[in-house]
Chain A
Amino acid sequence: MLNQIVKKSKLAPGVYEFYVENPIIAAKAQPGQFVVVIPSEKGERVPLTIADAFDGNIRMVVKVVGKSTADLALKREGETLYGVVGPLGKPSEIKYYGNVLLVGGGVGIAAILPIAKALKALGNKVYAVLGGRSKDQVILKDELEQYVDEILVTTDDGSFGIKGVVTDGMDLILRKQRIDIAWAIGPTIMMKFCSLKAREYGLKIVVSLNPIMVDGTGMCGACRVTINGQIKFACVDGPEFDGTQVDWDELLKRLQQYQEQEKLAFEKFKQKVGDLSWL
């Protein structure tokens, strides 16, 4: 059945993976694209990166950060999502580059998975830095190993891999290895620092932006970002952009726009459904 959750699993505390039946989107999805998911009838339109697509299903990874994502995380296998639209946004530019470095942080690791797969298939040598707060937040490492030649892991607390942040991992690779292009996908603040790091090395870096969106089809302009001094809509002009051209501080501020309302909605939701710290 269309938009039915056929498989759901917990990847880490607060991080869930979904396989949703949608043969139409699955047939068209390309690396770098996203879907807009409307969990329930009164729900928001939530943009989520397509982590994989095969056999008529699309795969998405969700981190619980507020009401809408908690609502999603609480859905069970067999339940149906109210709406899924996509595939939206421009696909990643996949071609033979030579040596490619992929940096993924938190759930951003799920977003680099399809890119790694496609780049590897074209004969690129793929390096990856995966980062998380602690060991259990470094998701999908085993799966990525199939497509990545060399993986470095960094954790804030040192519980896995190198103690540090992803830019420390970038340093380790960039000092010894010529890299032709990099992707960095993860929290906005991480992508900002990855872009600064790439600039230090004169390296081209692609980032996948996640501003607040509504329709996801270029109709409202909520997701506007400043790229090289120009206003762009992340939903149709992106979501991928040259990381060195992004006005990061503006984006970080824009992400705070509904902080109070988001908090209120989440609190009200928790009053209704009970404690969610187990998610």
Chain B
Amino acid sequence: MAVKPSPKKTPMRELEIEERIKSFSEVALGYTEDEALVEAMRCLQCPSKPCVKGCPVGIDIPGFISKIKEKKFDEAAKILKKYNNLPAICGRVCPQENQCEAFCTVGKIPGSEPVAIGRLERFVADWEAENLVLTQESGPKKGKKVAVIGSGPAGLTAAADLAKLGYDVIVFETLHKPGGVLVYGIPEFRLPKVIVEREVKYVESLSVKILLNTPVGKSVTVEEILKEFDAVFIGVGAGTPKFLNISGTNLNGVYSANEFLTRINLMKAYLFPEYDTPVRKGQNVIVVGGGNVALDAARSALRLGAKQVTVVYRRTEQEMPARREEYIHAVEEGIKFRWLTQPLRYIGDEKGNLVGVECISMELGEPDESGRRRPIPIEDSRFVIEADMVIEAIGTEANRFLLSEFKDLKLNKYGYIVVDEETCATSLRKVFAGGDIVTGAATVIEAMGAGKRAAYWIDKFLQKEYDPW
């Protein structure tokens, strides 16, 4: 019996709001088999496959969805894994609405939402983790070694693809856990760390060796890496937090989002004192910024027990770069938003503790180089918000920790690595790079796309089919 597909996406079950704000448990609960089947039926299997063009790693989306329709979840998983080494992560944190789903034919039908490709990807990846162990066949050993610096999404993807091609891959990670931004940045309630561990285990099952606590440039020199490996991939992320650099930045209670989230996610400060790393529990928390990191920080502060969390953003709701879905979650949970607001200075008491933030109201002027209307301060509109904690989530810049040791590597004016966009080749022979250290802060899937392209071209280089140097 044919049921007419709904014009709307099959909703995904979520944790109750009251429960959400008390814990770091995952908010989105995933599809059941039945829900996944209903959603898969909405896919038209159109031959032009516009959705694939929207995917930075080019997943055969209609292919894996058709296997869901047939209830052949194992085959769906195999298709996913062929293109994407970390599908359970992508299914959760990719901005699908701007990528695959933005191109979906169903979404072009008036009144209709696109197929929930991300939710289906997550369903298949989670089903696979529970139901089967995928053995990946590696190609014949090629007898060549590749160093991957950084174990974030770019590095893990490059490492997995290179291992599948038969290379000996060693990943160098500075922190004590693998995953990069997936473990220190994205909170448990959006991406449970067991999922990351599971995906990392899969990469290790391909014979990729991950060396933790190993800062390249310090415990292993760049010269040693260049000497010992046939090719190198740099995927160290953007790294260093930016600060507004306004008066009072070093008051107690002023955090970079990187520090706040690293304490919570990597060091598990939300479980203090069971875990040793503390974090401040603010009562009135201000988060500065409008991206996903700002929302992650705001929702984390709320879960630590804040009375009020306010996001201040210098533009408006329309310009904020955060994912719509996460913005809705934040609003549901009680996060307040003050649009067109910019902090001017932080006010402290005699002990050096933050007590307030002086802000100024903004209005939108002509579009700037980003195409968004430029915020301009309104004269005489200063006001003070009471706050005992501020988290600045205004972006990151290139961390010079590794790059300062990589002499002769060509950087752009912002300090990011200059590469050939298609092949990820840098100015240095046999060195490739991808992810945020090339593009500046971007998305997990874009970093994975770069890792994938780099692996492809590193293989070509090592097969002597490509050499731009």
Contacts and interface: CB of A to CB of B under 8 A. Distances in A.
Nearest to A83: B176
Given A85-B176, A220-B262, A221-B240, A43 B218 contact: no
Interface in B245-298: 245, 249-250, 252, 256, 258-259, 262-263, 267-268, 272-278, 280
Given A28-B221, A86-B219, A218 B400 contact: yes
B262 A214 contact: yes
A84 B215 CA distance: 11
Interface residues of A, number: 44
A257 B268 contact: no
Find the residue from B241, B272, B273, B274 having the highest chain A CB count within 10 A. B273
A45 to B, nearest CB: 7
A253 interface: yes
- The A interface is mostly helix, strand or loop, or mixed, namely mixed
Contacts of A24: 214, 219-220
B274 A82 contact: no
Find the residue from A71, A88, A222, A226 having the highest chain B CB count within 10 A. A222
Given A84-B213, A87-B219, 5 more contacts: A85-B215, A87-B218, A214-B259, A265-B276, A265-B278
Contact of A67 (B221, B241, B250, B276): B276
Interface of A: 24-25, 28, 38, 42-45, 67-68, 71, 82-88, 214-215, 217-222, 224-226, 231, 233, 236, 247, 250, 253-254, 256-258, 261-262, 264-265, 268
A85 B273 CA distance: 23
A128 to B, nearest CB: 29
B352 interface: yes
Interface of B: 174-176, 184, 212-215, 218-221, 239-241, 243, 245, 249-250, 252, 256, 258-259, 262-263, 267-268, 272-278, 280, 351-352, 399-401
28 contacts: A24-B219, A42-B275, A43-B276, A44-B267, A83-B212, A83-B213, A85-B176, A85-B213, A86-B219, A88-B218, A214-B262, A214-B277, A215-B262, A217-B215, A218-B239, A218-B400, A219-B239, A219-B262, A219-B399, A220-B256, A225-B250, A233-B240, A250-B250, A253-B252, A254-B250, A261-B273, A261-B278, A265-B272
Given A215-B175, A220-B256, A28 B218 contact: yes
Contacts of A218: 239-240, 399-401
- The B interface is mostly helix, strand or loop, or mixed, namely loop
A159 B315 CA distance: 65
Contacts of B399: 217-219
Contact of B274 (A42, A71, A261): A42
A218 B405 CA distance: 14
Contacts of A268: 273
Nearest to B277: A44
Given A214-B263, A231-B249, A262-B278, A221 B213 contact: no
Contacts of A85: 174, 176, 213-215, 219
Contacts, number: 119
The 8 closest A-B pairs by CB, nearest first: A253-B352, A261-B278, A220-B259, A44-B276, A221-B256, A83-B176, A265-B273, A85-B213
Find the residue from A44, A225, A262 having the highest chain B CB count within 10 A. A44
A68 B243 CA distance: 30
Contact of A231 (B218, B243, B262, B401): B243
Given A214-B259, A253-B351, A42 B221 contact: no
Contacts of A264: 273
A221 to B, nearest CB: 4
Contacts of B249: 224, 231
Contact of A221 (B212, B243, B252, B351): B243
A231 B218 CA distance: 23
Find the residue from B184, B221, B252 having the highest chain A CB count within 10 A. B252
